[in-house]
Amino acid sequence: MDGISYAALLFLVAVGLTLIFGVMRIINIAHGSLYAWGGYFAATLGLAIAKFGLSPGLALPALFVAALAVGVLLGSLLEVGLLRRILDKDPILQLLVTFAAFMVLEDLQRLIWGVQPYFVSEVVSQLGTLLVAGVTYTRYQLLVLPLCAIAVFLGLRWFLGRTPIGRQITAVTHDREVATAMGVNAARVSLLTIVIGASLGALGGALASPTTSLVPGIGAEMMVLSFAVVATAGLGQIGGAAIAALLIGISRAFAIYLMPELEVLVPYLIMVLVLLVRPQGMFSVAEARRI
Protein backbone atom coordinates (compact mmCIF):
# COMPACT_ATOMS: atom_id res chain seq x y z
CA MET A 1 0.00 0.00 0.00
CA ASP A 2 2.86 2.35 0.79
CA GLY A 3 4.16 1.32 -2.56
CA ILE A 4 1.06 2.53 -4.31
CA SER A 5 1.12 6.02 -2.82
CA TYR A 6 4.82 6.23 -3.61
CA ALA A 7 4.17 5.02 -7.14
CA ALA A 8 1.52 7.69 -7.53
CA LEU A 9 4.07 10.42 -6.71
CA LEU A 10 6.67 8.88 -8.98
CA PHE A 11 4.17 8.71 -11.79
CA LEU A 12 3.23 12.38 -11.48
CA VAL A 13 6.83 13.52 -11.69
CA ALA A 14 7.83 11.05 -14.36
CA VAL A 15 4.91 11.83 -16.61
CA GLY A 16 5.85 15.51 -16.54
CA LEU A 17 9.38 14.60 -17.54
CA THR A 18 8.29 12.34 -20.34
CA LEU A 19 5.81 14.91 -21.70
CA ILE A 20 8.51 17.53 -21.96
CA PHE A 21 10.87 15.05 -23.56
CA GLY A 22 8.22 14.17 -26.12
CA VAL A 23 7.84 17.70 -27.38
CA MET A 24 11.37 19.06 -27.01
CA ARG A 25 13.46 15.87 -27.31
CA ILE A 26 15.33 17.17 -24.28
CA ILE A 27 15.47 15.45 -20.92
CA ASN A 28 15.02 18.37 -18.60
CA ILE A 29 17.30 17.68 -15.65
CA ALA A 30 15.92 20.76 -13.93
CA HIS A 31 12.69 18.79 -13.57
CA GLY A 32 14.00 17.47 -10.25
CA SER A 33 14.25 20.94 -8.82
CA LEU A 34 10.71 21.70 -9.99
CA TYR A 35 9.69 18.82 -7.73
CA ALA A 36 11.66 20.32 -4.86
CA TRP A 37 10.31 23.82 -5.47
CA GLY A 38 6.75 22.48 -5.60
CA GLY A 39 7.30 20.81 -2.26
CA TYR A 40 8.86 23.81 -0.58
CA PHE A 41 6.33 26.26 -1.92
CA ALA A 42 3.46 24.02 -0.82
CA ALA A 43 5.00 23.77 2.65
CA THR A 44 5.30 27.56 2.80
CA LEU A 45 1.66 27.98 1.81
CA GLY A 46 0.66 25.38 4.39
CA LEU A 47 2.54 27.25 7.10
CA ALA A 48 0.99 30.52 6.02
CA ILE A 49 -2.51 29.03 6.20
CA ALA A 50 -1.84 27.75 9.69
CA LYS A 51 -0.32 31.08 10.75
CA PHE A 52 -3.12 33.33 9.58
CA GLY A 53 -5.73 31.02 11.05
CA LEU A 54 -7.42 30.39 7.75
CA SER A 55 -9.78 27.47 7.44
CA PRO A 56 -7.76 24.25 7.51
CA GLY A 57 -9.93 22.98 4.65
CA LEU A 58 -7.84 25.23 2.44
CA ALA A 59 -4.73 23.17 3.06
CA LEU A 60 -5.43 20.55 0.41
CA PRO A 61 -6.33 22.99 -2.38
CA ALA A 62 -3.27 24.99 -1.38
CA LEU A 63 -1.10 22.07 -2.51
CA PHE A 64 -2.54 22.28 -6.00
CA VAL A 65 -2.28 26.05 -6.11
CA ALA A 66 1.38 25.81 -5.11
CA ALA A 67 2.08 23.26 -7.81
CA LEU A 68 0.38 25.30 -10.49
CA ALA A 69 2.14 28.49 -9.44
CA VAL A 70 5.57 26.88 -9.50
CA GLY A 71 4.85 25.03 -12.73
CA VAL A 72 3.60 28.04 -14.64
CA LEU A 73 6.25 30.42 -13.36
CA LEU A 74 9.38 28.26 -13.53
CA GLY A 75 8.15 26.22 -16.48
CA SER A 76 7.64 29.19 -18.73
CA LEU A 77 10.82 30.80 -17.48
CA LEU A 78 12.78 27.68 -18.39
CA GLU A 79 11.18 27.36 -21.78
CA VAL A 80 11.49 30.96 -22.89
CA GLY A 81 14.85 31.57 -21.22
CA LEU A 82 16.68 28.37 -22.06
CA LEU A 83 15.05 25.36 -23.69
CA ARG A 84 13.72 27.28 -26.67
CA ARG A 85 17.18 28.62 -27.43
CA ILE A 86 19.01 25.31 -27.37
CA LEU A 87 16.75 23.26 -29.64
CA ASP A 88 19.24 23.27 -32.50
CA LYS A 89 22.31 22.72 -30.35
CA ASP A 90 24.33 19.60 -29.80
CA PRO A 91 22.56 17.07 -27.52
CA ILE A 92 25.45 17.23 -25.03
CA LEU A 93 25.05 20.97 -24.73
CA GLN A 94 21.30 20.62 -24.26
CA LEU A 95 21.90 18.20 -21.45
CA LEU A 96 24.49 20.51 -19.90
CA VAL A 97 22.25 23.54 -20.04
CA THR A 98 19.41 21.83 -18.21
CA PHE A 99 21.96 20.47 -15.75
CA ALA A 100 23.23 24.00 -15.19
CA ALA A 101 19.67 25.22 -14.73
CA PHE A 102 19.24 22.48 -12.16
CA MET A 103 22.32 23.64 -10.25
CA VAL A 104 21.10 27.22 -10.26
CA LEU A 105 17.59 26.33 -9.11
CA GLU A 106 18.95 24.04 -6.41
CA ASP A 107 21.05 26.83 -4.91
CA LEU A 108 18.25 29.37 -5.21
CA GLN A 109 16.03 26.96 -3.34
CA ARG A 110 18.66 26.67 -0.63
CA LEU A 111 18.92 30.46 -0.43
CA ILE A 112 15.17 30.93 -0.14
CA TRP A 113 14.26 28.09 2.17
CA GLY A 114 17.51 27.35 3.94
CA VAL A 115 18.85 23.91 4.76
CA GLN A 116 16.68 23.01 7.76
CA PRO A 117 14.19 20.26 7.05
CA TYR A 118 10.61 21.41 6.56
CA PHE A 119 7.81 19.22 7.75
CA VAL A 120 4.22 20.35 7.30
CA SER A 121 1.73 17.55 7.65
CA GLU A 122 -1.54 19.17 8.76
CA VAL A 123 -3.27 17.89 5.66
CA VAL A 124 -2.48 14.30 6.48
CA SER A 125 -3.69 14.43 10.07
CA GLN A 126 -6.82 16.33 9.04
CA LEU A 127 -7.97 13.64 6.70
CA GLY A 128 -7.65 10.97 9.34
CA THR A 129 -6.75 7.36 8.99
CA LEU A 130 -8.24 4.18 7.60
CA LEU A 131 -7.88 0.64 8.83
CA VAL A 132 -7.19 -1.84 6.06
CA ALA A 133 -6.54 -5.48 6.90
CA GLY A 134 -5.36 -4.62 10.38
CA VAL A 135 -2.90 -1.95 9.29
CA THR A 136 -3.57 1.73 9.75
CA TYR A 137 -3.05 3.95 6.76
CA THR A 138 -3.50 7.66 6.50
CA ARG A 139 -6.36 8.52 4.21
CA TYR A 140 -4.11 10.97 2.47
CA GLN A 141 -1.68 8.32 1.31
CA LEU A 142 -4.27 5.68 0.60
CA LEU A 143 -6.85 7.78 -1.23
CA VAL A 144 -5.68 11.26 -2.15
CA LEU A 145 -2.35 10.37 -3.77
CA PRO A 146 -3.50 7.43 -5.93
CA LEU A 147 -6.69 9.27 -6.90
CA CYS A 148 -4.66 12.27 -8.02
CA ALA A 149 -2.40 10.08 -10.10
CA ILE A 150 -5.34 8.27 -11.71
CA ALA A 151 -7.06 11.58 -12.39
CA VAL A 152 -3.93 12.96 -14.01
CA PHE A 153 -3.48 9.81 -16.06
CA LEU A 154 -7.07 9.79 -17.35
CA GLY A 155 -7.09 13.55 -17.75
CA LEU A 156 -3.92 13.47 -19.83
CA ARG A 157 -5.24 10.67 -22.03
CA TRP A 158 -8.40 12.62 -22.67
CA PHE A 159 -6.57 15.90 -23.16
CA LEU A 160 -3.95 14.52 -25.54
CA GLY A 161 -6.31 12.31 -27.50
CA ARG A 162 -9.56 14.27 -27.68
CA THR A 163 -8.97 18.01 -27.48
CA PRO A 164 -7.59 20.05 -30.39
CA ILE A 165 -4.69 21.45 -28.37
CA GLY A 166 -3.86 18.04 -26.96
CA ARG A 167 -3.78 16.61 -30.45
CA GLN A 168 -1.42 19.35 -31.51
CA ILE A 169 0.89 18.32 -28.68
CA THR A 170 0.70 14.71 -29.84
CA ALA A 171 1.46 15.82 -33.39
CA VAL A 172 4.54 17.79 -32.31
CA THR A 173 5.70 14.87 -30.21
CA HIS A 174 5.40 12.61 -33.19
CA ASP A 175 7.24 14.79 -35.66
CA ARG A 176 7.96 18.43 -35.02
CA GLU A 177 8.78 19.34 -38.61
CA VAL A 178 5.74 17.77 -40.20
CA ALA A 179 3.50 19.21 -37.51
CA THR A 180 4.90 22.68 -38.17
CA ALA A 181 4.38 22.20 -41.89
CA MET A 182 0.74 21.34 -41.16
CA GLY A 183 0.29 24.70 -39.48
CA VAL A 184 0.83 23.79 -35.84
CA ASN A 185 2.53 26.54 -33.89
CA ALA A 186 5.24 24.35 -32.41
CA ALA A 187 6.69 27.09 -30.21
CA ARG A 188 3.35 27.73 -28.53
CA VAL A 189 2.70 24.03 -28.14
CA SER A 190 6.11 23.58 -26.53
CA LEU A 191 5.47 26.36 -24.04
CA LEU A 192 2.13 24.88 -23.09
CA THR A 193 3.52 21.36 -22.75
CA ILE A 194 6.38 22.50 -20.61
CA VAL A 195 4.07 24.40 -18.32
CA ILE A 196 1.90 21.30 -17.98
CA GLY A 197 4.89 19.04 -17.48
CA ALA A 198 6.51 21.40 -14.98
CA SER A 199 3.25 21.71 -13.07
CA LEU A 200 3.00 17.94 -12.85
CA GLY A 201 6.54 17.76 -11.49
CA ALA A 202 5.76 20.48 -8.96
CA LEU A 203 2.47 18.74 -8.11
CA GLY A 204 4.45 15.62 -7.27
CA GLY A 205 6.55 17.67 -4.90
CA ALA A 206 3.59 19.50 -3.40
CA LEU A 207 1.70 16.28 -2.76
CA ALA A 208 4.78 14.64 -1.33
CA SER A 209 5.52 17.54 1.02
CA PRO A 210 3.04 16.55 3.76
CA THR A 211 4.38 12.99 3.90
CA THR A 212 8.11 13.58 3.98
CA SER A 213 10.38 16.21 5.38
CA LEU A 214 11.85 18.56 2.82
CA VAL A 215 15.63 18.70 2.78
CA PRO A 216 18.10 19.96 0.18
CA GLY A 217 18.89 17.18 -2.24
CA ILE A 218 15.40 15.74 -2.69
CA GLY A 219 15.38 17.30 -6.15
CA ALA A 220 18.38 15.28 -7.29
CA GLU A 221 17.05 12.07 -5.82
CA MET A 222 13.65 12.49 -7.43
CA MET A 223 15.21 13.48 -10.73
CA VAL A 224 17.13 10.24 -10.94
CA LEU A 225 14.19 8.19 -9.74
CA SER A 226 11.77 9.69 -12.20
CA PHE A 227 14.32 9.22 -14.93
CA ALA A 228 14.56 5.59 -13.88
CA VAL A 229 10.80 5.34 -14.32
CA VAL A 230 10.84 7.09 -17.67
CA ALA A 231 13.76 5.02 -18.95
CA THR A 232 12.21 1.77 -17.76
CA ALA A 233 9.01 2.69 -19.53
CA GLY A 234 10.61 4.00 -22.68
CA LEU A 235 11.00 7.71 -23.32
CA GLY A 236 7.76 9.49 -24.14
CA GLN A 237 5.41 6.68 -23.07
CA ILE A 238 2.70 7.91 -20.69
CA GLY A 239 0.91 4.59 -20.12
CA GLY A 240 4.28 2.92 -19.75
CA ALA A 241 5.31 5.47 -17.16
CA ALA A 242 2.28 4.54 -15.06
CA ILE A 243 3.16 0.84 -15.15
CA ALA A 244 6.85 1.44 -14.51
CA ALA A 245 6.04 3.76 -11.60
CA LEU A 246 3.82 1.08 -10.08
CA LEU A 247 6.47 -1.56 -10.59
CA ILE A 248 9.20 0.52 -9.00
CA GLY A 249 7.00 1.92 -6.23
CA ILE A 250 5.71 -1.47 -5.14
CA SER A 251 9.05 -3.23 -5.32
CA ARG A 252 10.54 -0.46 -3.24
CA ALA A 253 7.84 -0.95 -0.64
CA PHE A 254 8.65 -4.66 -0.57
CA ALA A 255 12.34 -3.88 -0.29
CA ILE A 256 11.72 -1.61 2.71
CA TYR A 257 9.81 -4.47 4.28
CA LEU A 258 12.28 -7.22 3.46
CA MET A 259 15.76 -5.69 3.13
CA PRO A 260 15.77 -2.08 4.30
CA GLU A 261 19.42 -1.53 3.39
CA LEU A 262 18.74 -2.19 -0.25
CA GLU A 263 15.76 0.13 -0.49
CA VAL A 264 17.68 2.85 -2.31
CA LEU A 265 19.09 0.41 -4.83
CA VAL A 266 15.86 -1.22 -5.95
CA PRO A 267 14.68 1.38 -8.48
CA TYR A 268 18.09 1.39 -10.16
CA LEU A 269 18.31 -2.38 -10.17
CA ILE A 270 14.95 -2.60 -11.91
CA MET A 271 15.99 0.01 -14.44
CA VAL A 272 19.27 -1.77 -15.11
CA LEU A 273 17.54 -5.14 -15.50
CA VAL A 274 14.91 -3.79 -17.87
CA LEU A 275 17.46 -1.89 -19.92
CA LEU A 276 19.65 -4.98 -20.19
CA VAL A 277 16.82 -6.78 -21.94
CA ARG A 278 15.27 -3.84 -23.77
CA PRO A 279 17.79 -1.02 -24.18
CA GLN A 280 15.10 1.47 -25.14
CA GLY A 281 12.71 0.64 -22.32
CA MET A 282 9.70 -1.61 -22.01
CA PHE A 283 7.17 0.18 -24.16
CA SER A 284 9.30 2.05 -26.66
CA VAL A 285 8.37 2.21 -30.31
CA ALA A 286 11.03 1.44 -32.89
CA GLU A 287 12.52 4.55 -34.43
CA ALA A 288 13.99 4.80 -37.90
CA ARG A 289 17.76 4.82 -37.95
CA ARG A 290 19.29 7.93 -39.37
CA ILE A 291 22.29 7.36 -41.53
Q: Which helix (H) or strand (E) holds 231?
A: helix 218-233
- Residue range at the interface with other proteins (CB under 8 A); choices 56-64, 170-178, 184-192, 275-283: 275-283
Helices (H), 25-134: 31-51, 59-81, 91-113, 122-127
Identity of the residue, 111 or 286, whose beta carbon is nearer to other proteins in the bound complex: 111
> Could you tell me the CA-to-CA distances from 64 to 80, 203, 212, 284 in Å, in that order?
24, 6, 17, 31
- Residue range at the interface with other proteins (CB under 8 A); choices 102-110, 147-155, 166-174, 175-183: 102-110
Identity of the residue, 48 or 103, whose beta carbon is nearer to other proteins in the bound complex: 103
**Rounded distance, CA 36 to CA 108, Å?**
11
The reply to whether 27 sits near other proteins by the rule CB under 8 A is yes
**Rounded distance, CA 41 to CA 288, Å?**
43
Among 47, 104, 150, 259, binds other proteins (CB under 8 A): 104
By CB under 8 A, the residues from 191 to 250 that bind other proteins are 220-221, 224, 227-228, 231, 235
- Residue range at the interface with other proteins (CB under 8 A); choices 92-100, 127-135, 207-215, 241-249: 92-100
- Residue range at the interface with other proteins (CB under 8 A); choices 39-47, 49-57, 79-87, 116-124: 79-87
- 239 by Cβ neighbours in 10 Å (0-12 / 13-18 / 19+) ranks as middle
**Rounded distance, CA 15 to CA 57, Å?**
28
Among 108, 147, 150, 215, binds other proteins (CB under 8 A): 108
CB 28 within 8 A of CB 105: no
Binding-site ranges for other proteins (CB under 8 A): 27, 82, 85-86, 88-93, 95-97, 99-104, 106-108, 110-111, 220-221, 224, 227-228, 231, 235, 261, 264-265, 268, 271-272, 275-276, 279, 289-291
